[in-house]
């Protein structure tokens, strides 16, 4: 079976293809050796889209090329929020993320076909998270570290309300201490830590979970900051990844929760001095996480005093309301 797919960044390519897992993958041959595109900052970066519908070129080299998504792909409106302080204050961090951590995450999600905007701490009094922005957001990703206490309470209240109303939240790395995440968890979210550039192996302990789609038995990162148990969070509804570190500690690194109508995913990797967000598997987890956390169509719940569905006598003199 032969199909024509639009290579949305550069040109049309033809693939000999077949479907697997209900259309999740498109495999084929491509004669294009140009697997780069210009990102929002004018930098040439590789195409690394492996989200739901992708093509693998097996000619001179193996590469992932973005193609038009098929009917199984759920596109989401994503706001990528970043504190964006370390990248401006530290040459070490700027060398790794010259345009900010948010830029790398945004590029990965855009390559997956999502509609992405970015926002940062110093982007006005609302930190880029106005009511209008959040009302137009299906999933909010959050990276913060050094300035949790600078996020205004009014903005925290606004974000929490939107999560409870159905917006998805992906809290990344040190966002475990963000006021938004601790408010939603109701605990200190404290943990043990060590910065020693040690190896981390994230074991996929729930391989059937949608966030683990396309991930192998484990993800291995050569250099990472250690987070260790106990992690003071509520018992997750689902635990997708558990980390082991070269120093011997373990950590619950992929925790899923429901809060109100919203879904929350905490994903541990992402220390600012290591190029973790360029890793293909880490990007795949973020892409899967956005799809999982995005709100689904369903009836809106109604609360308060309710009229009966069937005819009954509603008179009751004993009521105190």
Question: Looking at residue 270, which CATH number applies to its domain?
Answer: 3.40.50.880
Largest CA distance in the chain: 83
Residue 3 pLDDT: 33
Last residue of a domain, one of 45, 66, 87: 66
Residues 9 and 88 in one domain: no
Residues 198 and 241 in one domain: yes
Residues 150 and 48 in one domain: no
| Domain-embedded: residue 237 | yes
Residue 121 pLDDT: 96
Residues 56 and 93 in one domain: no
| Domain-embedded: residue 130 | yes
Residue 115 pLDDT: 96
Residue 17 pLDDT: 31
Residues 108 and 242 in one domain: yes
Residues 54 and 188 in one domain: no
- Report the C-alpha gap between 4 and 13 in whole angstroms: 7
Structure tokens at 131: 């009511």
Strand, coil or helix: 314: coil
Beta bridge partners of 118: 80
Could you list the residue range(s) of the whole structural domain that residue 242 is in? 77-293
Residues 247 and 108 in one domain: yes
Q: What is the pLDDT along the chain (321 residues), one digit of tens a residue?
A: 333 322 233 223 333 333 333 333 333 333 344 444 445 445 444 443 333 333 333 332 333 434 444 444 568 999 999 999 998 899 999 999 999 999 999 999 999 999 999 999 999 999 999 999 999 999 999 999 999 999 999 999 999 999 999 999 999 999 999 999 999 999 999 999 999 999 999 999 999 999 999 999 999 999 999 999 999 999 999 999 999 999 999 999 999 999 999 999 999 999 999 999 999 999 999 999 999 999 988 887 888 989 999 999 988 888 776
Category of 98 on φ-ψ map: left (φ > 0), alpha (ψ -120 to 50) or beta = alpha
Residues 270 and 123 in one domain: yes
Residue 20 pLDDT: 33
Last residue of a domain, one of 29, 46, 66: 66
pTM listed for this prediction = 0.78
For 36, 154, 225, the CA distances from 111, given in Å and listed in that order, are 11, 33, 27
Q: How many helices (H) and strands (E) does the chain have?
A: 7, 17
Output the CA angle 252-109-282, nearest 5 degrees.
Answer: 35
| Domain-embedded: residue 302 | no
| Domain-embedded: residue 177 | yes
Output the CA angle 231-79-208, nearest 5 degrees.
Answer: 55
| Domain-embedded: residue 54 | yes
CA-wise closest residue to 83 among 133, 128, 37: 128
Instruction: Please tell me the total count of domains within the chain.
Output: 2
| Domain-embedded: residue 286 | yes
Residues 277 and 164 in one domain: yes
Residues 47 and 93 in one domain: no
Residues 8 and 97 in one domain: no
| Domain-embedded: residue 219 | yes
Last residue of a domain, one of 26, 46, 66: 66
Residue 296 pLDDT: 87
Residues 145 and 229 in one domain: yes
| Domain-embedded: residue 253 | yes
């Amino acid at each position: 079976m032969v199909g024509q797919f639009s290579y949305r960044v550069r040109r049309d390519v033809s693939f000999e293809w077949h479907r697997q897992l209900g259309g999740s993958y498109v495999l084929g041959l491509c004669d294009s050796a140009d697997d780069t595109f210009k990102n929002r900052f004018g930098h040439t970066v590789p195409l690394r889209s492996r989200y739901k519908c992708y093509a693998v070129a097996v000619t001179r080299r193996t590469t992932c090329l973005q193609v038009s998504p098929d009917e199984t792909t759920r596109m989401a409106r994503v706001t990528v929020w970043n504190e964006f302080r370390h990248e401006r204050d530290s040459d070490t961090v700027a060398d790794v993320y010259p345009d900010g951590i948010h830029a790398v995450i945004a590029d990965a999600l855009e390559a997956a076909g999502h509609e992405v905007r970015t926002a940062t701490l110093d982007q006005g009094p609302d930190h880029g998270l106005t009511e209008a922005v959040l009302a137009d957001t299906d999933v909010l990703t959050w990276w913060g570290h050094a300035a949790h206490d600078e996020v205004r309470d009014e903005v925290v209240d606004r974000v929490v309300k939107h999560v409870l109303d159905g917006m998805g939240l992906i809290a990344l790395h040190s966002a475990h201490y963000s006021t938004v995440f601790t408010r939603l968890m109701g605990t200190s979210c404290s943990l043990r830590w060590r910065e020693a550039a040690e190896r981390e192996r994230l074991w996929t302990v729930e391989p059937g979970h949608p966030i683990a789609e396309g991930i192998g038995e484990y993800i291995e990162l050569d250099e990472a900051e250690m987070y260790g148990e106990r992690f003071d969070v509520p018992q997750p509804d689902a635990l997708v990844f558990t980390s082991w570190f070269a120093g011997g500690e373990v950590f619950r690194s992929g925790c899923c929760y429901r809060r109100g109508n919203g879904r929350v995913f905490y994903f541990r990797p992402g220390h600012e001095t290591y190029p973790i967000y360029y890793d293909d598997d880490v990007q795949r987890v973020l892409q899967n996480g956005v799809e999982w956390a995005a709100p689904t169509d369903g009836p809106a719940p109604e609360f308060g005093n309710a009229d009966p569905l069937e005819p009954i006598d509603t008179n009751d003199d004993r009521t105190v309301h």
